[in-house]
Amino acid sequence: MKAIKLTNKNRINFISLMFFGPALLLYFIFTIIPATVSLLASFTDWDGVSKNFNIIGIANFIEIFTGERFINAVKNTSLITIFSVVFVNILALILAILLDNVTKGKSLFRSIFFVPQVLSAIIVSYMWAYMLNYDSGIFNVFLNGIGLGSLTQDWLGDPRFALISFTLILIWQGVGFYMIIYLATLQTIPGELIEASRIDGAGPIRQFKDITLPLIAPAITTCVILSIIGALNVYDMVIALTNGGPGFSTETIVVTMLFEATRTSRQGVASAEAIILFIATMVISIVITGYLRKKEVDY
């Protein structure tokens, strides 16, 4: 038998494997295998617990796409995603630009804006639930106090306002995180470029459009993708704030998915919804990334 010569290259590969092997193993056990099981379960009527199940083909997928509840969840999730992604990124960029130009107290303001991101989703939800309470919440108390009692609403209990209230809270919580990314990127823009454009007579808007925006395009790509993925998968804040209500007005795809898994014991349907969400997230991410990458430049 021919002995394997331990060349430097073999040694390096072996040591590399020893380093990333455990992580790869854990990833395989806790991500790949469950995802594969979920994919297989989506074609069955498995209840998530029993050893017995039947293969039912694409019946789960047909039921999902013809069910009013899932369509409603898709609508809610889409609205939350579109509005939160657009506004969180615009606000984060504006804050980053303002903060970039602040000379004193930059760290303080950066911390203040980042605090909501540090708080857990549950704490944020309970805090806002109290603030938006119709009877004793600070918003309505303030409105009553300044003589605008006619504007008081049940912000989380009225279907007309629940979804938008939730989306605004999501934006509030996320803006600090993306602001940090934009701020860091802004600080990498060479000052000479800005100086040169100023000498050439470019105003602030022209500078932003032709220099700043193209150079922070990679950060925009990153932030947009991250915020899309976060919004599509939102769950904990929905449960804590509104439980998907009133009625089904704030129910998202993940909420319906977990309802099927835990309350009706239809793991097959829940897995099918998870697969649909995964494919949708992947497709949206690829399309958006492809589009935004074309906008990136290097000067």
Partner 1 sequence: MKKSVLLMVVVMLFTIVTTGCGSTSTSQEKSTSTVQATSQSTTEEVLKQAEPVTLTLSSAEESYPKELLDKVSKIYTAKNPNVTINVDTFSGMEQVAYYKTKLAAGQLPDIFFINTLDPVFINANAIMELPQEVIDLMPDSKLNTYKGKIYQGVNNKQLFGVFYNKKIFADLSIQEPKTIAELDAASALIKAKNITPFATGFKDLWVGGMFMEMYFNTSATIFNTPDWDIKRLANEVKYDSPEVIKGYQSFSDFNKKGYFGKGMMGTSYQQCTEKFATGKAAMYPMGNWVIGDFAALKPDFEIGWFPFPAFEGTTKAIKGLGTWFVISAETKSPKEAIDFYKWLGSDPEAMAPICERMSLIPDVNNKIDYKADPLLLSIISKTDTMDSVVASGAQVGDNVPPPGFADIQQKIDSEIAAGSDIIKSVQNQDVEYDKLLKLKK
**Beta-bridge partner residues of 44:** 55
Q: Which is nearer to partner 1, 72 or 117 (CB)?
A: 72
* Distant-in-sequence, close-in-space partners of 174: CB < 8 Å, separation ≥ 6: 84, 88, 92, 116, 117, 227, 230
**Beta-bridge partner residues of 55:** 44
In the set 41, 74, 88, 132, which binds partner 1 (CB under 8 A)? Answer: 132
> Helix (H, G, I), strand (E, B), or coil: what is residue 102?
coil
Contact by Cβ (8 Å): 264, 69? no
Query: Does 1 sit near partner 1 (CB under 8 A)?
Result: no
Minimal distance, residue 135 CB to partner 1, in Å: 5
Query: Does 264 sit near partner 1 (CB under 8 A)?
Result: yes
Token pair listed for 226: 């991250």
Query: Does 116 sit near partner 1 (CB under 8 A)?
Result: no
Query: Does 4 sit near partner 1 (CB under 8 A)?
Result: no
In the set 10, 31, 188, 243, which binds partner 1 (CB under 8 A)? Answer: 243
Q: Tokens 């919804």, residue?
A: 273
Torsion of CA 283, 286, 291, 292, to 10 degrees: 130
Minimal distance, residue 260 CB to partner 1, in Å: 8
In the set 48, 193, 214, 230, which binds partner 1 (CB under 8 A)? Answer: 48
Query: Does 15 sit near partner 1 (CB under 8 A)?
Result: yes
Contact by Cβ (8 Å): 260, 270? yes
- Of 281, 242, 275, the closest CA to residue 260 belongs to 275
In the set 1, 3, 4, 49, which binds partner 1 (CB under 8 A)? Answer: 49
Minimal distance, residue 252 CB to partner 1, in Å: 14
Please give the Cα distance from 167 to 172 (Å, whole number).
9
Residue 174 burial by CB count (10 A; 0-12/13-18/19+): exposed, middle or buried? buried
Query: Does 236 sit near partner 1 (CB under 8 A)?
Result: no
Token pair listed for 209: 């459009």
How many residues sit in the footprint of partner 1 (CB under 8 A)? Answer: 40
Q: Which is nearer to partner 1, 188 or 264 (CB)?
A: 264
In the set 105, 149, 247, 290, which binds partner 1 (CB under 8 A)? Answer: 247
Establish whether the linkage from the previous residue to 204 is cis, with ω within 30° of 0.
Answer: no
Q: Which is nearer to partner 1, 57 or 290 (CB)?
A: 57
Please provide the DSSP assignment of 103-138 as one string.
-SSHHHHHHHHHHHHHS-HHHHHHHHHHHT-TTT-H
Query: Does 266 sit near partner 1 (CB under 8 A)?
Result: yes
Token pair listed for 46: 């498995």
Minimal distance, residue 79 CB to partner 1, in Å: 18
In the set 3, 9, 104, 135, which binds partner 1 (CB under 8 A)? Answer: 135
Query: Does 129 sit near partner 1 (CB under 8 A)?
Result: yes
- Of 273, 299, 143, 148, the closest CA to residue 210 belongs to 299
Name which of residues 168 to 227 contact partner 1 (CB under 8 A). Answer: none
Query: Does 8 sit near partner 1 (CB under 8 A)?
Result: no
Query: Does 57 sit near partner 1 (CB under 8 A)?
Result: no
Contact by Cβ (8 Å): 186, 96? yes
Q: Which residues bind partner 1 (CB under 8 A)?
A: 11, 15, 18-19, 21-23, 26, 47-50, 63, 68-69, 129, 132-135, 154-159, 243-249, 259-260, 262-266
